[in-house]
A and B are shown apart, each in its own frame.
Chain A
Amino acid sequence: MSENNIISPENLVYSKTEVMTDRVLHYCPGCGHGTAHRMLAEAIDELGIQGDTIGVAPVGCSVLAYYYFNVDMQEAAHGRAPAVATGIKRVFPEKYVFTYQGDGDLAAIGTAETIHACNRGENILIVFINNGIYGMTGGQMAPTTLPGMKSSTSPRGRDVKTMGNPLKITELIAQLPGTYFVTRQSVHTPGNVRKTKRALKKAMEYQKLNKGTCFVEIVANCPSGWKMTPVQSNKWMEEHMFPFYPLGDIKVPE
């Protein structure tokens, strides 16, 4: 196909950042976690802070995030990443510290750690991957599961009368005085991926100002848990997740 000389180093416009390792990701085909990782890695790369960044990995599908980010990483117990990141940031206030957490990790078992770290205004970045489900353990209902959404523990759809309402934890933490920048993005189209990177870059830059917690939610797909093809899941996300979790900035610095 390519009888051309376009493929040469001076024409390179896009390749994987060195802030991601060369390991093959263990995620399912089409899963948003991989793209979310890469955007955070590109943000770190473009800011030139690879050597000064420390990440905290969660429990959930992204439990192995420490294999993929080419920066210092620490694993936390389920839901406790913001508490671990608090400790790291307080010992190394000059470092850039982030957590990377799913919705089960951040908004179920780790609700207390999330809210209190944000309320204390810890100078960390929290990256929140909301796929509305416990992906890793077999697609159980999460606090973020939409009304009527099917999961392995709500096979007829979430009935809010008996199963409670979904928790918009991002709107909730935006109310807290400790948060400085709160935004909701996605990584399912080229435009959205680029916007997510800009948000992550901004959030990392704000950490230098010591003004409080930055919180970037990424609404993501879970094709396996949702039982759809990746392309179908991205469409379903647009039609069902975004009306409930609208994309855009929720709290921006004055």
Chain B
Amino acid sequence: MARKGDVVIDIEKCKGCEVCLAACPEEVLALSNEVNSKGYHYTVKVNANCIGCANCAVVCPDAVITVYREKK
């Protein structure tokens, strides 16, 4: 079993580009139906399958995502 992870998404900074969605191996992320104050649909978690790999945060052009992973 992979270690469990979690992400914190700064939704006000998100521009809804979907680059993080494409990079997530666990299909944890999706775009919201709502928009932020800039009018962008933002990234949200849709399940608890995050493994803390940080792929999403690494490819996010706007440094929106912070990643955590439980210790062994």
Residues of A within 8 A of B (CB): 1-2, 4, 6-8, 10-16, 20, 24-25, 27-35, 38, 187-190, 193-194, 223, 229-231, 234
A contact residues around B22 at 8 Å (CB): 231, 234
CA distance A194 to B47 in the complex (A): 26
Cross-interface CB contact of A25 among B19, B62, B67, B70, cutoff 8 Å: B62
Residue of A nearest to B5 (CB): A6
B contact residues around A229 at 8 Å (CB): 17-18
A contact residues around B19 at 8 Å (CB): 30, 188, 230-231, 234
Cross-interface CB contact of B63 among A20, A32, A187, A234, cutoff 8 Å: A20
Q: B residues 13-72 with Cβ under 8 Å of A? A: 13, 15-19, 21-23, 40, 45-48, 52-55, 57-63, 65-71
Measured as residues with beta carbon below 8 angstroms from the partner, the interface class of chain B is 35 or more
Contact A1 B52 (CB under 8 A): no
A contact residues around B69 at 8 Å (CB): 6, 11, 13
Contact A13 B67 (CB under 8 A): yes
A1-B47, A35-B60 given as contacts; is B40 within 8 A of A29 (CB)? yes
B contact residues around A234 at 8 Å (CB): 19, 22
